[in-house]
Amino acid sequence: MKPVVLFDAGRLLDRSAREAPTGVDRVCLAYAEWLAARRDIGMIPVATVRNRLRAVDPAHCRRAIRILRKRWSGDGPETTIERALIRALTSQSPGPSILDVEPGAAPLSLRRVRSVSQALTSRPLPPPAPGQAYISVGHTALDTPAILADLSRRGVSTTIMIHDLIPITHPEFCRPGDRARHHRRASNALRHADRIIVNSAYTASQLLAFAAGEDLRQPPVKAIPLGLEPVFLTRGTTPSPRPYFVHVGTIEARKNLAFLLTLWRRLQERLGPATPGLVLVGRYGWENEAVLDHLQRSPNLQGLVHQSAGLSDASLARLMRGARAVVAPSSIEGFDLPAVEAMAMGVPLIASDIAVHRELVSGARLIDPLDGLGWLSALQAATDSPPVAPDYAPPTWTAHFDQVAAFIGLPD
């Protein structure tokens, strides 16, 4: 009889309308595809609805996986926004900055929309049987101990992925209430999960330190680096005649973007018309008022700094390959997928000297995230002369899932 895996697809289905994924979204899609493709496993997609697991219609889940893969990969020609960005970056007479519209308050909360959508596409889940497995990689089903505790009582093996401890260790970079919520999630995982996967040795150390500090049990924890999509695995660059740099990630406080934009203003004061461009690729997050003030009101940055979300993987890879370097000045990260993608493609990377970057992209140019003069020097040097990226052996999804299967006891 085939092993049965209950895969929590709730977060993935929540993202069905998104034009581009976050790093966690990418992981959810990769796991869904891996499990769905294995003929030796019976995958049952589930979702958390009102703190209870419900079964998702398999056909609906398969359709969502196909749609998201096609949309997020974007293997077609350049999109309208990509063409607009390239024109703005290569023009000898920069026009206005390209900025996504700042999101306003929706008349109906996303939480309510998701709840209604999942309720309509799900049905009661038959009682799980002993010997089945449950996998959640999107921080779902962790807000209440009831789900994991019930699965454990029924003899279901539970595997949880924790992506980072940032809301607990650095709550100043997160929304009010996120610390308490993530504390609850991490605690529930430690108390009830049979095993926990993390994305880096740094995240593992933070999780185990949290468990020790809270006097919680420590189930087996394994650090397995995340894989990359195929479009990011081929080395090669096509530098633009007019230099520009790229940052990829949600526009939020921990990304240190207000610092980066202050540097760009200083570069503009030094270099004038020779100032390189900068593209911030990512959605607006939280605690980003200082960044928005720079983007919308600084005359020195108009026409130089652009922001866009919704780029497909193919568009993003082309944009990154044309850059002088990818910049990653984050104050804290759990993994930093864009930094790893840049190294894999052979695109030079200038990144903050933090634990995760030292672990995963040690060959990059690493600078303290508060060293303004060091960053200015590195950015100006890369503008004057394209840096050379070091060789790099990128992590792959194949290697990731080989380790996952061994860790949770699935067939090879």
pLDDT for the residue 122: 67
Average pLDDT over residues 155-166: 97
- Highest mean predicted confidence (pLDDT) among 75-84, 124-133, 246-255: 246-255
Q: How many residues does the chain have?
A: 412
Q: Is the pLDDT reported for residue 120 higher than 70?
A: no
% residues pLDDT > 70 (the chain): 94
pLDDT for the residue 51: 84
Tell me the C-alpha to C-alpha distance, in Å, between residue 269 and each of 91, 219, 280, 300, 391.
20, 54, 20, 8, 35
Mean of per-residue pLDDT scores for the chain: 91
pLDDT for the residue 101: 58
Tell me the C-alpha to C-alpha distance, in Å, between residue 35 and each of 233, 238, 374.
22, 36, 45
Compute the distance between CA of residue 228 and CA of residue 386 in angstroms, rounded to an integer: 25
What percentage of the chain's residues is helix, strand, coil (to nearest 5)? 45, 15, 40
Average pLDDT over residues 354-382: 97
Give all domains of the chain, ordered by start, each with its CATH number.
Answer: 4-57+121-227+396-408 (3.40.50.2000), 75-104+230-384 (3.40.50.2000)
Q: Concatenated DSSP letters for 345-376?
A: HT--EEEE--HHHHHH-TTSEEE-TT-HHHHH
pLDDT digits (tens, 9 = 90+) for 341-367: 999 999 999 999 999 999 999 999 999
% residues pLDDT > 90 (the chain): 76
User: Where does residue 215 fall: left (phi above 0), alpha (psi -120 to 50 degrees), or beta otherwise?
Assistant: left
pLDDT for the residue 209: 98
C-alpha 411 chain-centroid distance: 28
105: confidence class by pLDDT, cuts 50, 70, 90: very low
pLDDT for the residue 16: 82
pLDDT digits (tens, 9 = 90+) for 34-76: 999 999 999 999 998 888 899 999 999 999 999 999 999 987 7
pLDDT for the residue 197: 98
pLDDT digits (tens, 9 = 90+) for 207-238: 999 999 999 999 999 999 999 999 999 999 99
pLDDT digits (tens, 9 = 90+) for 270-295: 999 999 999 999 988 877 888 888 88
pLDDT for the residue 121: 60
140 touches 118 (CB < 8 A): no
Tell me the C-alpha to C-alpha distance, in Å, between residue 29 and each of 8, 9, 131, 203, 222.
11, 9, 25, 21, 20
- Highest mean predicted confidence (pLDDT) among 91-105, 124-138, 356-370: 356-370
116: confidence class by pLDDT, cuts 50, 70, 90: very low
Q: Is the pLDDT reported for residue 110 higher than 60?
A: no
119: confidence class by pLDDT, cuts 50, 70, 90: very low
Burial of 155: CB neighbours in 10 Å, binned 0-12, 13-18, 19+: exposed
Query: What are the helix (H) ranges across 38-194?
Result: 58-73, 80-90, 110-120, 145-153, 166-169, 178-192
Tokens of 321: 């390959």
95: confidence class by pLDDT, cuts 50, 70, 90: confident
Q: Is the pLDDT reported for residue 257 higher than 90?
A: yes
Strand order in the sheet with 244-248: 305-308, 277-281, 244-248, 325-328, 349-352, 365-367
